[in-house]
Amino acid sequence: MTERVIALVDAGRHQPLPPPVPQVAGPARDRLGRVLRDLRISVTDRCNFRCVYCMPKEVFGKDYPYLAHDQLLSFEEIARLAQVFVDQGIEKIRLTGGEPLLRRNIEHLVEMLAAIKLPDGRSVELTLTTNGSLLAKKARALRDAGLHRVTVSLDALDDPTFMAMNDADFPVAKVLAGIAAADAAGLAPVKINMVVKRGVNEHSILPMARRFKGSGHVLRFIEFMDVGATNGWRMDDVIPSSEIIRLIGAQLPLEPVDRNYPGEVAERWRYRDGSGEIGVISSVTQAFCRSCTRARISTEGMLYTCLFATSGYDFRALLRGGKSDAEIRAAIAAVWAARADRYSEIRTAQTARERKIEMSYIGG
Ligand code: SAM
Ligand code: SF4
Ligand code: SF4
Is residue 288 in contact with ligand 3, taking CB distance under 6 Å? Answer: yes
Return d(Cα 56, Cα 9) in angstroms, integer: 18
Predicted structure pTM score: 0.94
342 within a domain of the structure (yes/no): yes
Is residue 96 in contact with ligand 1, taking CB distance under 6 Å? Answer: yes
Cα-to-centroid distance, 250 and ligand 2 (Å)? 31
Helix runs in 19-158, H state only = 75-87, 106-114, 135-145
**What is the domain range of residue 341?**
11-362
Cα-to-centroid distance, 269 and ligand 2 (Å)? 26
Q: Do 92 and 151 contact (CB within 8 A), yes or no?
A: no
155 within a domain of the structure (yes/no): yes
CA 49 to ligand 1: nearest atom:
1
Instruction: Return the ligand number nearest the Cα of 166.
Output: 2
2 within a domain of the structure (yes/no): no
CATH number at residue 301: 3.20.20.70
Cα-to-centroid distance, 130 and ligand 1 (Å)? 9
pLDDT in tens, 145-183: 999 999 999 999 999 999 999 999 999 999 999 999 999
Helical packing angle, 325-337 and 75-87, nearest 10° = 60
Which of 295, 286, 283 minimizes the C-alpha distance to 233?
283
19-24 contact pairs (CB < 8 A, 24+): 19/334, 20/330, 20/333, 20/334, 21/333, 21/334, 21/337, 23/330, 23/333
Is residue 307 in contact with ligand 3, taking CB distance under 6 Å? Answer: yes
Which of 151, 45, 138 minimizes the C-alpha distance to 92?
151
166 within a domain of the structure (yes/no): yes
119 within a domain of the structure (yes/no): yes
Structurally, the chain folds into a number of domains equal to 1
Query: What residues does 296 pair with on adjacent strands?
Result: 40, 304
262-270 contact pairs (CB < 8 A, 24+): 262/291, 263/37, 263/38, 263/291, 263/292, 263/293, 266/220, 267/241, 269/245
Mutate to test the pocket of ligand 3, among 344, 356, 357 (most ligand atoms within 8 A of CB): 344
Q: Do 67 and 9 contact (CB within 8 A), yes or no?
A: yes
User: Cα–Cα distances in Å, from 85 out to 78, 100, 274, 329, 364?
Assistant: 10, 20, 39, 7, 19
Residues of the chain with pLDDT under 50: 1-11
Query: What residues does 218 pair with on adjacent strands?
Result: 191
- The side-by-side arrangement of strands in the sheet containing 38-42 is 254-257, 267-271, 277-281, 218-223, 191-196, 149-153, 125-130, 92-96, 38-42, 294-297, 302-304, 313-314
Return d(Cα 182, Cα 213) in angstroms, integer: 17
